[in-house]
Amino acid sequence: MADTPTEAAPRLALRGITKRYPNVLANDGIDLDVLPGEIHAVLGENGAGKSTLMKIIYGVVEPDAGVMRWEGEPVRIDNPARARKLGIGMVFQHFSLFETLTVADNIRLALEPRQSRQLRQRIRDISTRYGLPLTPARRVHTMSVGERQRVEIVRCLLQRPRLLIMDEPTSVLTPQAAQRLFETLRTLASEGVSILYISHKLDEIRALCTRATVLRAGRVTGQCDPRRETTASLARMMIGGDLPHTVHREANAGAPALRVQRLDVPADDPFGTRLSGISFDVREGEILGIAGVSGNGQKELLAALSGERTLARADAIMIDSAPVAKLDAFARRKLGLAFIPEDRLGRGAVPEMNLADNGLLTARGDGNVAHGFIRERSVVAFAKRTIAAFGVKAGGPDAVARSLSGGNLQKFIVGREIGQRPKVLIAAQPTWGVDVGASAQIRQALIDLRERGVAVLVVSEELDELIEICDRLAVMTQGRLSPAKPVRETSAEEIGLLMAGATSGEITPTGTSAPARAEAR
């Protein structure tokens, strides 16, 4: 990591970049200079305009006004191919992958034809070097969120960019892998590559970045050297106030409410993960966390727990000692299960439906349905209560789910599931891509639920989050689950090692052998 002299000509200079969407001014006269070889953080809450700005730089979105200079020359970047030609690479927060194609094909599509020689080998090289395990022949639709992001990162690195835009890259990495990525980024920076680093993980930015530009509501509200700031001062610049923090009291756990015994699920496709011998309990009034890099069977476990996939042996999963593994999701809900899925649009919510209808998607009690007929007044009231209780920023129960930001929609889904007073709540990646304020609120809601005696299971890749809210933690690797340990008796390092290291014993041909070997060296 080299401090570049500030008098160096900027590699990329933006002046007065403005982009207006029908309902919102996403970027409002933004100025930004990125110097050669610097790691420049762009900080801001979700909806502050970071993603729009990055899409403008990468040519996905055209600005309504403003000037862009690349290496001193004025440029118009009207499509990503042009951006890549200039030497700009981007790893998106929301992936731009073709699901029906393989990893290698997806990468090949972004490369010039002559670059694709010996592509599979080069993918393996890069993914081994940066600890991003990938199987080039695997199809993207079979992969989890975390694995898909790895494809994006590798795809960018293959193109040897001079400016690399990273949009929340570490949210799906183990701490060790994140550290390794930071090493990579620092190496790239020392080679003269400029890096624009989008994140709201303030510790990360303080550890990695040499300059930070803070956005709020589409405007630049400050610039600083994050190494000289505290987490609290950065947060204040970002949200214009103090960070909410969660309150966590000692657990007062009761009887097991969710019990999983020797759960075996065969992989439903050749690249899926087989679950074998998974056993755990979640007791009333505790939060059990399941950590692990995605793609180790979390998707399969969650589908089996939620009832989206039913199993042959009924007592593999029990809710309040009732065997439920044969029941579908609806029947399990009636027994007191609530589930917050990892995907919001298209799973947790119907994008085209309004919030009232999306409430009714799972909330069938509370007088919402009588004799099979929908009671509209009650449904609207339920949506209003949820919106109010969780401070969802939306036009009201009539707002279409698709029109909400990710964080607001997640708050609504969390509120909807909690609003049904479940006995057992399962949450998958509850704060993925959600801004800090909303994340803190969601975590607090989970803790409050625990205080009321609900059994809560959180499956997440964000280790800090799990350590903050969970009472016990287990780690998932290659379809197996480690015994749960009280959080106080473990550490992020230990869990991180379990997440990555536990794979070294079991190398499978299609599995995550690359990192394991890399680590063994």
Partner 1 sequence: MRLRLEARPVPSRVYVWTAPLIAALATLAVGFVVFSAFGKNPLAAFDAFFIAPIATRYGVAELLLKASPLMLIATGLAIGYRANVWNIGAEGQLTLGAIAGGGVALAVGDALWPPVLLLPAMFVAGAAGGMLWAAIPAWLRTRFNANEILTSLMLVYVATLLLSWLVHGPWRDPEGYNFPQSKIFAANAMLPILLPETRLNAGFLLALAVVAIAWLFVRKHIVGFEMRVAGLSPGAANYAGISWRRNIWLGMLAGGACAGLAGVSEAAGPIGQLLPSMSPGYGFAAIIVAFVGRLHPAGIALASLLMSLLYLGGESAQVNLALPSAVTGLFQGTLLFFLLAADVLVNYRPRMVLA
- Which residues contribute to the site for partner 1 (CB under 8 A)? 21-23, 306-308, 328-333, 339, 341, 343, 346-353, 357, 360-362, 364, 369, 372-374, 400, 402-403
In the complex, minimum distance from the CB of residue 4 to partner 1, in angstroms, rounded to a whole number: 37
**Nearer Cβ to partner 1 (22/270):** 22
Distance CA 295, CA 49 (A): 30
Would you say 202 or 426 has its CB closer to partner 1? Answer: 426
The answer for residues whose C-beta is within 8 angstroms of residue 158's C-beta and 6 or more apart is 107, 111, 115, 122, 123, 126
Nearer to partner 1 by Cβ, of 284 and 417: the residue is: 417
Q: Which helix (H) or strand (E) holds 143?
A: none
Report the alpha-carbon distance of residue 473 to residue 483 in Å, rounded. 8
By the 8 A CB rule, do 359 and 381 touch?
Answer: no
Q: State the minimum distance, in angstroms, from the CB of residue 353 to partner 1.
A: 7
User: What SS3 state is found at 256?
Assistant: strand
Residue where the block lists tokens 């959080």: 487
Rounded least distance, CB 331 to partner 1, Å = 7
- Shortest distance, CB of residue 464 to partner 1, whole angstroms? 27
Q: Which two tokens stand for residue 380?
A: 């609207």
* Inter-CA distances, 217 with 26, 29, 37, Å: 7, 11, 28
Query: Which amino acid is it at 125?
Result: D
User: CB–CB of 197/40 below 8 Å?
Assistant: yes
Q: How far is the CB of 381 from partner 1 (least distance, A)?
A: 17
Closest to partner 1 by CB, 104 vs 404, is: 404
Shortest reach from residue 217's CB to partner 1, in Å: 18
Q: Which is nearer to partner 1, 400 or 467 (CB)?
A: 400
By beta-carbon proximity to partner 1, the closer residue of 224 and 369 is 369
Least gap, CB of 49 to partner 1 (angstroms): 16
DSSP bridge pairs for 338: 425
Instruction: Work out how close the CB of 172 gets to partner 1 at its nearest, in angstroms, rounded to a whole number.
Output: 20
Q: Measured from the CB atom, is 132 or 302 closer to partner 1?
A: 302
Token representation of residue 125: 């090289």
State how far the Cα of 223 lies from the Cα of 363, in Å rounded to an integer: 45
Nearer to partner 1, 3 or 343 (CB): 343
Q: What are 349-354's contacts with CB under 8 Å, separation 24+?
A: 349/401, 349/409, 349/412, 349/413, 350/401, 351/400, 351/401, 351/402, 352/400, 352/401, 352/402, 353/400, 353/401, 354/397, 354/398, 354/399, 354/400, 354/401
Cβ neighbours of 367 (radius 10 Å): 12
State the Cα–Cα distance between residues 398 and 415, nearest whole angstrom: 17
Best CA proximity match to 461, nearest among 168, 98, 256, 95? 168
Give the nearer residue to partner 1 in terms of CB position, either 178 or 355.
355
- Of residues 343 and 448, the one with the C-beta less far from partner 1: 343
CB of 448 to partner 1, least distance (A): 24
In angstroms, give the least distance from the CB of 284 to partner 1. 24
